[in-house]
Amino acid sequence: MSTPFMTLQSFHYLALATCLVCLLMQLSVKHKQTAHILFAVFCGSLAMIAAKKITGHSVGAYQYLIGMGACATCNCYWLLARSMFRKDQAIGLVHIALAIVIALLVVIKQGYLFANAHWVSLSDPYTVLSGVLSELTTLLSSCVLVLSFWEGCRGYNESSKTEKAQRLLFLLTFGLAVGVSKSLQSYYASSPELKDWTVAIITLVVLMSTQIQLLWRFGLSGRVEDARGPAEAITQTVTQAVGSGTEDTTLCEALNRLINEDKAFLRPNLKVADLARALDVPEYRVSRALKPQLRQYNFNQYINRLRVKHAQKLLRDPNNQHWPVLVVGLESGFASVGPFTRAFKSVTGTTPNQYRKLAQCKESGVIYQSL
């Protein structure tokens, strides 16, 4: 009788090894992004699942303690998807709280199974509670799976060509994993081994695909600009060698029109990525083209100086004297009065109210001496 090429047990060992390799790769990244940290946690959680499958019944009830470590799978992957595809405010307290709730439900369920197997069978009320927790965990896990898929779809049309390709890889992998798992669900009851094989294969596919996406987006070092393709890297090298070529000059002119003539600086929370999307060019090229204009400032300081200059005009305008400072700040691109006041004072040395009074006094010919 021929020996199978690979047994299920050896495949679990392969999955465990892959998880650990991916985990170590995240730890070796020099400039870690949030996505690297989340993927490392995800790999660790999958490693615990593989370890539980390998040990099986040989450790008895303690397998459920190992299972407690498998509490950061779909919930962590949802956070990972948000960190990869959202530019601003990718992960907030609400998202972390939901992920923690799902993790706690998994830990409580595994703790119940451990207590039930290690000490004594629990009474019916506890059995009912376990069933409720299982159903709730399944429901929330299904929700975050749908949300993870949505993250890949959200903003697809506004993405650059490279990001669209990255999103397609994510969506294809995610859709294939969920589709295969759900389509075989009716066979799992009669063939538990089929379920184990399916989960193990899906684990490997998702791990490898996600690792490729992280390398594609951030490169080996973790910097976004290091993840450019060969053609983009060659283009940058040639451009740097010949100086400011026609292409960069055209980009600088387009940026100047977008920022100053079209007044893009008045948009709240403006980022370099927003300019890159508007011009349909890679973000690193926009950053490089902006360097001569930024000088000693960073991008936010540069944009805030333009906003403050615009606010000064509004404060000097006699027709706007009835406008509150908040309105002037909002009209100048600031999200609230606090950042507006701080940026204004940093540039002019006075608060907006002081500046307005000084402008009024100069207009009436009175020398303002209270500053």
138/102 same-domain check: yes
143/286 same-domain check: no
Higher pLDDT, 159 or 19: 19
Yes or no: say if 72 and 42 are a contact pair by the CB < 8 Å rule. yes
**Cα(66)–Cα(110) distance, integer angstroms:** 9
For 282, the enclosing helix (H) or strand (E) is none
Does a structural domain hold residue 135?
yes
Does a structural domain hold residue 101?
yes
Closest CA to 165 of 223, 217, 208: 217
Yes or no: say if 175 and 149 are a contact pair by the CB < 8 Å rule. yes
What CATH number should be reported for the domain holding residue 102? 1.20.1070
Give how many domains the chain has, as a whole number: 3
**Cα(177)–Cα(22) distance, integer angstroms:** 19
84/188 same-domain check: yes
- CA of 14: how far to CAs of 53, 200, 204, in Å? 12, 9, 9
122/21 same-domain check: yes
49/185 same-domain check: yes
167/285 same-domain check: no
Does a structural domain hold residue 301?
no
What CATH number should be reported for the domain holding residue 362? 1.10.10.60
In this prediction, residue 86 carries a pLDDT of: 82
199/276 same-domain check: no
123/207 same-domain check: yes
Does a structural domain hold residue 299?
no
Picking from 185, 202, 226, the residue at the C-terminal end of a domain is: 226
| Confidence at 179, pLDDT banded by 50, 70, 90 | confident
Does a structural domain hold residue 300?
no
Does a structural domain hold residue 2?
no
Picking from 294, 316, 339, the residue at the C-terminal end of a domain is: 294
In the predicted model, what is the mean pLDDT of the chain?
82
pLDDT digits (tens, 9 = 90+) for 239-297: 443 344 455 678 888 888 898 888 899 998 898 888 988 888 888 888 888 887 776 67
Q: What residues contact residue 180 under an 8 Å CB cut-off, 6+ apart?
A: 198, 202
pLDDT digits (tens, 9 = 90+) for 257-267: 898 888 899 99
The mean pLDDT value for 204-223 works out to: 86
72/215 same-domain check: yes
Yes or no: say if 25 and 215 are a contact pair by the CB < 8 Å rule. no
Closest CA to 39 of 210, 177, 174: 210
pLDDT digits (tens, 9 = 90+) for 85-135: 887 678 888 999 999 999 999 998 888 888 877 766 555 555 666 678 788
When mean pLDDT is compared over 52-61, 81-90, 278-287, 309-318, the highest value belongs to: 309-318
Does a structural domain hold residue 158?
yes
Domain boundaries, position 283: 239-294
Percent share of the chain, pLDDT over 70: 84
Does a structural domain hold residue 208?
yes
Q: Is the pTM of this model over 0.75?
A: no
Residue 152 has pLDDT above 80, yes or no: yes
Angle formed by the axes of helices 352-363 and 299-316, nearest 10°: 40
187/166 same-domain check: yes
312/207 same-domain check: no
Closest CA to 160 of 279, 333, 334: 279
18/134 same-domain check: yes
